[in-house]
Amino acid sequence: MNPLSKISAAALTAAALTGCATGLAKNDTAEMSASSTALSANAGETGHIVTIGDVHEYRLDNGLQILIKEDHRAPVVVSQIWYKTGASYESNGTTGVAHVLEHMMFKGTKTLGPNEFSRIIAANGGRENAFTGQDYTAYFQQLEKSRLPISFELEADRMANLNLRAEDFVKEVKVVMEERRMRTDDKPRSLTYEHFAATAFVNSPYHQPIIGWMNDLENMNVDDMRNWYKDWYAPNNATLVVAGDVDAKAVFELAKKTYGKVKARPIPLLKPQTDFEQKGIKRIVVKAPAQVPYMLMGYKVPVVATAKTDWEPYALEMLANVLDAGESSRFAKELVRGQQIATSVGAGYDLYSRLDNLFLFSGTPAKGKTIEELEKAIRTQIQKIKTEQVSQAELDRIKAQVVASKVYEKDSLFYQAMQMGTLATVGLDWQLMDQFVERLRAVTPEQVQAVAKKYLIDDYLTVAVLDPQSTPAPAAANGGHSHAH
């Protein structure tokens, strides 16, 4: 899957769950030549860094990076503030703290009471939410364009003046534990993924789940919140992304007056926590109440931010697309329809993470097939990539999809803002967004083969299998129907 679709998967989930969806079409286009011609220096204006196409980059004196995309199709605006912190910045014992703090950010400041932030946004016709990932924590509002100052004032306020009270924390951490039960504990596949990631990564902080281990949540306290907030919430550790029917210069002026008041602070030095080289295949079984088996396979691979050879992540991306990019790709054609080994099967790779990541496979065997048969079929597909060159027709099809996606994504402001925010926050140049299509187009069949041979090998592999534990027949037997009320 293409990286951008990874982002969009994130966006999609957020959107689907929050009802804030903007359509979130997927991605990217070949419009890069067009946009780079529009490069303007615009020197002389303090704080202005660069303008490329319709995206303007600024920086405030306090270090806040600002990316503004003008899009005048509709009188609306999305504003996202991204902090360079997330689950992968956490230490053992306080996992989940980034996400719990994200919840606490709605609990008031020196001047606003709990939830007042949300009430003000709502009264202004706005939609809002926040999300935490391994590499970022972000907050957003979608508004009619004239309401943008409200977003800036409120976000700048809670960037500096959060009021963390023990009584709010005690309730909110319970909410997060419920969230964990809902998202992970009671979802056999999510649970399997959690164990899988904890096995594949050892020293890398991707070892730990974003939502945190339950035991860490149970022992978290309000001081953990305060420390986290003090460490990471500063303008010099954040990127503001604004997209919509705005004038970039006016937005910058507005940012100066609001975010500009927040003082820069020293940010802790992050330890690298580079995972050591894996020395052989790892296999685990996760037993959970479930009905249908499931498997995950992951190979350690570099990403754009870590790759020593710059085309490799794009070749891995192309590889993921050859196997799984729609109904005409190999997995759908050969494993779901042709051999009918899988009910569903996917390949995925996120090239825009901060640290080395996994090239992932997941699947559910078709009725009458086993997990072993599915794993064998996936391995056969990998072997085929290693021994036979990918056809030009396949590459062309993927390129056509990517080019079209780049046009489609323009239908979603939110998605475009997500892309910029993600790149900036994992330490990459946001302009890579526009280079994606060109980089992917440049990938050759030889390169796809080369990355498969180099990285998709057993020594770098972790396999996790969900072993369904049959559950007693539910339904009326136990609770039965009882009439009440």
Partner 1 sequence: MPINSKNSKSKNMNNTLFFGLLMSSILFFTALTSTTVSASPEIEHWRTTNGARVYFVPAPELPIVDIRIIFNAGAARDEDMPGLAILTNGLLAEGAGGLSADQLAEQFESIGARFGNSAQRDMAILSLRTLTEKKIFDSAVNTLTTILTQPDFPKAAFERERGRLLTTLKQNKQSPGKLANKTFFNALYTKHPYRNQPTGTETGINELDTAKLKTFYDKYYVGSNAILAIVGDLSRTDAEKLAQTLMAKLPEGEPADNIPPVEALTDGEEIRIDHPSAQTHILVGQPGMKRGDPDYFALYVGNHILGGSGLVARLSNEIREKRGLAYSSYSYFVPMQQNGPFTIGLQTRNESADEALNVLRETIGTFIKEGPTAEELDAAKKNITGGFPLRISSNKKIIDYIGMIGFYQLPMDYLDTFNERVQAVTLDDIKNAFQKRIHLNKMATVMVGGNVNLTEKK
* x-or-dash string of contact with partner 1, 447-466, rule CB under 8 A: --------------------
- Cβ at position 348, least distance to partner 1 in Å: 6
**C-beta of 73 vs 263, nearer to partner 1:** 73
Active-site residue, 102 included? yes
Pairwise CA distance, residues 264 & 355, whole Å: 26
Residue 396 touches partner 1, criterion: CB under 8 A: yes
Residue 367 touches partner 1, criterion: CB under 8 A: yes
Phi, psi of 38 (to 5 degrees): -85, 10
Residue in the structure block whose two tokens are 């996120």: 350
Query: Quick one: which segment of 121-129, 224-232, 277-285, 376-384 binds partner 1 (CB under 8 A)?
Result: 121-129
**C-beta of 308 vs 367, nearer to partner 1:** 367
User: Helices 222-232 and 166-180 sit at what angle, rounded to 10 degrees?
Assistant: 90
Q: Which of 31, 45, 70, 102 is catalytic?
A: 102
Residue 339 touches partner 1, criterion: CB under 8 A: no
Tokens, residue 341: 């080994």
Phi, psi of 379 (to 5 degrees): -65, -35
Of residues 126-145, those binding partner 1 (CB under 8 A): 126-127, 129-134, 136, 142-145
**Near partner 1 by CB under 8 A: residue from 34, 49, 292, 442:** 292
Of residues 314-333, those binding partner 1 (CB under 8 A): 320-321, 324-329, 332-333
Tokens, residue 320: 């993921």
- Identify the bridge partners of residue 342 per DSSP, sorted by sequence position: 365
Residue 151 touches partner 1, criterion: CB under 8 A: no
Query: Quick one: which segment of 54-62, 225-233, 248-256, 397-405 binds partner 1 (CB under 8 A)?
Result: 397-405
- Cβ at position 401, least distance to partner 1 in Å: 4
C-alpha dihedral sign at 228, 152, 135, 295: positive
Element (H, E) at 392: helix 392-408
Pairwise CA distance, residues 386 & 381, whole Å: 9
Q: Decide if 420 contacts 58 (C-beta within 8 A).
A: no
**C-beta of 59 vs 187, nearer to partner 1:** 187
Q: 3-state DSSP call for residue 357?
A: strand
**Near partner 1 by CB under 8 A: residue from 69, 103, 354, 439:** 103
Count the neighbouring beta carbons within 10 Å of the beta carbon of residue 362. 22
Of residues 10-49, those binding partner 1 (CB under 8 A): 10, 12-14, 17-20, 22-23, 25-27
End-to-end CA separation in angstroms for the chain: 51
**Positions marked catalytic:** 102
